[in-house]
Structure 1
Amino acid sequence: MKVFVIAGEPSGDKLGAALMRGLKSQSQEPVSFQGVGGEDMIAEGLNSLFPMSEIAIMGIGAILREYRNLKRRIRETANTIIAEKPDVLVTIDLPEFCLRVAELVKAESDIRVVHYVAPTVWAWRPKRAQKMARHVDQVLALFPFEPPYMEAAGMRCDFVGHPVVTEQVATEEEIAAFRTVQGFGDAPVVLVLPGSRRSEIGRLADTFGETLGRIAESRPDIRFVLPAAGNVAGLVEEAVQNWPVNVTVLDPRGVDAERFAATKRAAFGAADVALAASGTVALELAAAQTPMVIAYDMPWLSRQIIGRMLLVDTVNLVSLVSDTREIPEFIGKDCQANLIAPAVLSVLNDPSRQTEAMAVTMERLGQGGPPPGERAALAVLDGLK
């Protein structure tokens, strides 16, 4: 069986590698892989047409700067697929590239197209599903509430589970060792997660700093820890110097990646509550069973546009998956320290209402069942029957 698979960023590379492992283990015949991917997919046997980094481009400005090269790679990739005639094309996320390739392939062939990671049509821009359906046969969804949206547009959609359920979490021994090394002892710990993009740090740093100051005024025994993303570690270090509290910053620069990942997991496990920017980090916190408060702001124009287009009353994935509203959110104009700090203290004092919501979330995302990569593989193979 010939499989052509495309991923354009690290998260997609991990999904692709897990899918490839699943296909090799579940297929009744040998499987060969061609496409575009990173180190993980190449290690599983992918013959990559070109480096994944060439299409791992984010932001309108970057896309415009690289437009000619991207357009050339889209056409080159589509031509290769049409010429090779694989049994199935699997595109993973990165719709700006992947769905354009799928459109060209479908225009000149009947090759089956599977798209892995459903677009967030349940949150905004629902017409994307109808547009996708013109050149996508099947969607592999990460969330259990997504299939009806895709199916209504005319595509087969299989919920295959979220990769967060396979991520490691810290052991009790690792958590205890982390507390000892950091000198936290039995003190309550607040995990601070202001985002992984420079723009997020720039918008949230002052508010987060003021929030921590207010928390410390009420609870001077609290300790604060911030695991920084490598690309913003320097910016984070600068920001915390102006905060009114001492914060332990975990800096990944110059540290072995696996060692830092283990330290970060221990920090998540050691925390009694997290103050986090909105995003998929909520699922990482749920996996670690760390209660949370979400705060996020954006430029004024983005507030107006997104506010008018948003179709859901929460941006927190734990709330959406568990169908609860137990996690406090302070978004846009509500992202203010005087509102956020009391919520963090309240959750610290009584996290019980979140505990069940997090457990339900992990169960619904596939925890305890077959790995998502295996489920995705079985869905792809079933679609080929």
Structure 2
Amino acid sequence: MSAEVAETPLVYIVAGEASGDLLAAGMMRALKKVTGGKIRFAGVGGDLMRAEGLESLFPISEMAVMGVFEILPHAPKLLRRIKQTVADILEKQPDILVTVDSKAFSLRVQKRLYKRREAGGPVGFPLVHMVAPTVWAWRPGRAKVISRFLDRLLVLFPFERPYFEEHGLKTTFVGHPASTQPVGDGAGLRARTQIAPRAPVLGVLPGSRPGEVRRLLPVFGETVRRLIARYPDLRILVPTVSGVAEQVRETVKDWPGTAIVIEGEAEKYNAFDAMNVALAASGTVTLELALAGVPTAVGYKVSPLSAPIGRRLVNLEAVVLANRILGRPVQPFFLQENCTPDALTVSIARLFDDTRARADCAAAARELRELLGTGAVSPSETAALTVADAAGISPAETA
């Protein structure tokens, strides 16, 4: 490594799933902009982060698990990857570590490094996390716990700051990148996929984790069969991500109506614009659909063993992000035994048939953009400037 390269700030970024990959890639792109390209990256990420110049330590698909009992079978590999990541960070000695989402993995890495620091180890760089644990939805005590071992937290929702500032953690609201998501070209996508301009289109989004897809697609598939019996001209679009794309294609190939599987960020937004209604797994994509003004029913299932624990710990009214932010049920939510083809079919048919649904969703989208944005500076750039400040990287000097 040349002396010039060695002196270029190194930002180590860890993202363990598709939503984190998207957020981290936007931040990386903004960091390159504010530093005039005088920045280096290392860490763990997916396709979008690789496109911004990251060589991932290992595939993030290995980390895409959630729930108590879903994690247990993966625990040995998870622990090995945590150990490997910590060792790589210590060897590279970055100017800052930024972990993004994927709390089961990321916060364990952060905690190990904090313990090394407390023991006098070589951890002089700031420990920063982006995307707060959903303490407002379940286990609020986690705010106190993570405040002990992080130096800074970047949150996406304005109501999150007080939960962590109460415990002395420096917390910055950076805004949600989805608030600036583009409007897609639905007409163009319909033309390319031979969907008639006036044909009704249902978007089906079964999640980004293999377990989600495995549990939800059978229920979603039966719902599609019932809806096509009611709406014979119905067409199906299935936006997905690379980590589960083959699994999704294999499952939907026998659905009626020839489901069209779509990959890529640009095509996802085109699909949003082409949809009349969506059926989606609970997660970040439901907020993206709300911001796109798509009437959406949300379904979710966890393993039967995790469900009783979740019911005791989770505030179910806060699970669907748009509903939590706006304080009203913008998107109907069906969990576990309530996530059935019968219930989903009735809900989606109501969204198709209610002429007010799209107008109501358009109004909600405008409210959400105002609440989640940060004005003239984009959320990704706000995050990049916050990271640069925490690392002592001066954009004015390096740009």
Q: TM-score range by the shorter chain?
A: 0.7 to 0.9
Other-structure match for 1:341: 345
Q: Deviations over 1:43-91 (max 9, x none)?
A: 7677x7x72538963443334135345324414423643xx7x4x4433
2:278 pairs, out of 266, 274, 278, with: 274
Per-residue deviation, 1:315: 1.7
Per-residue deviation, 1:179: 4.4
1:299 pairs, out of 299, 303, 317, with: 303
Contact 2:147-2:169 at 8 Å conserved across structures: yes
Per-residue deviation, 1:201: 3.1
Other-structure match for 2:317: 313
Contact 1:8-1:56 at 8 Å conserved across structures: no
Runs of 5+ unmatched residues, structure 2: 1-7, 66-70, 393-399
Q: Deviations over 1:222-267 (max 9, x none)?
A: 3333234444444444444554x32332255xxxxxxx54443322
**Counterparts of 2:233 and 2:60, CA distance in 1:** 48
* Bigger mean CA offset, 126-135 vs 14-23: 14-23
Matched, 1:360 2:371: no
Other-structure match for 1:53: 59
1:377 pairs, out of 381, 384, 399, with: 384
**Counterparts of 2:362 and 2:244, CA distance in 1:** 31
Other-structure match for 2:172: 158
Contact 2:216-2:301 at 8 Å conserved across structures: yes
Matched, 1:249 2:260: yes
Other-structure match for 2:68: none
**Counterparts of 1:105 and 1:225, CA distance in 2:** 48
Per-residue deviation, 1:177: 5.1
Three-state SS of the structure 2 residue aligned to 1:375 is helix
Matched, 1:210 2:193: no
2:133 pairs, out of 106, 109, 119, with: 119
**Counterparts of 2:53 and 2:329, CA distance in 1:** 43
Task: After TM superposition, list the pairs within 5 Å mapping 1:22-171 onto structure 2.
Answer: 22-23=30-31, 26=34, 32-33=39-40, 35-38=42-45, 51-53=57-59, 57-59=63-65, 60=71, 61-65=73-77, 67-68=79-80, 70-78=82-90, 80-81=92-93, 86=95, 88-95=96-103, 96-97=105-106, 98-107=109-118, 108=120, 111-171=125-185
- 2:63 maps to a residue whose letter is I
**Counterparts of 2:61 and 2:250, CA distance in 1:** 31
Other-structure match for 1:255: none
**Counterparts of 1:203 and 1:72, CA distance in 2:** 31
Task: After TM superposition, list the pairs within 5 Å mapping 1:192-207 onto structure 2.
Answer: 192-207=204-219
Contact 2:228-2:257 at 8 Å conserved across structures: no
- 2:362 maps to a residue whose letter is T
Instruction: Give the CA RMSD over aligned residues.
Output: 3.3
Matched, 1:178 2:190: yes
Three-state SS of the structure 2 residue aligned to 1:220 is coil
**Counterparts of 1:240 and 1:2, CA distance in 2:** 45
Matched, 1:325 2:329: yes
Per-residue deviation, 1:32: 4.7
Contact 1:117-1:142 at 8 Å conserved across structures: yes
Three-state SS of the structure 2 residue aligned to 1:191 is strand
Three-state SS of the structure 1 residue aligned to 2:351 is helix
- 1:220 maps to a residue whose letter is P
Contact 1:215-1:342 at 8 Å conserved across structures: no
Q: Deviations over 1:288-334 (max 9, x none)?
A: 32111111222222211101110341421111222221211111111
- 1:331 maps to a residue whose letter is L
Contact 2:317-2:323 at 8 Å conserved across structures: no
CA 1:114/1:264 → structure 2, altered by over 3 Å: closer, same or farther?
closer
- 2:158 maps to a residue whose letter is P
Task: After TM superposition, list the pairs within 5 Å mapping 1:220-259 onto structure 2.
Answer: 220-240=232-252, 243=255, 245-250=256-261, 252=263
Q: Deviations over 1:108-147 (max 9, x none)?
A: 3564332222112222222222121122122101122211
- 2:131 maps to a residue whose letter is V
Aligned length, in residue pairs: 368
- Name the % identity: 35
**Counterparts of 1:115 and 1:78, CA distance in 2:** 17
**Counterparts of 2:53 and 2:233, CA distance in 1:** 52
CA 1:237/1:315 → structure 2, altered by over 3 Å: closer, same or farther?
same
Three-state SS of the structure 2 residue aligned to 1:182 is coil
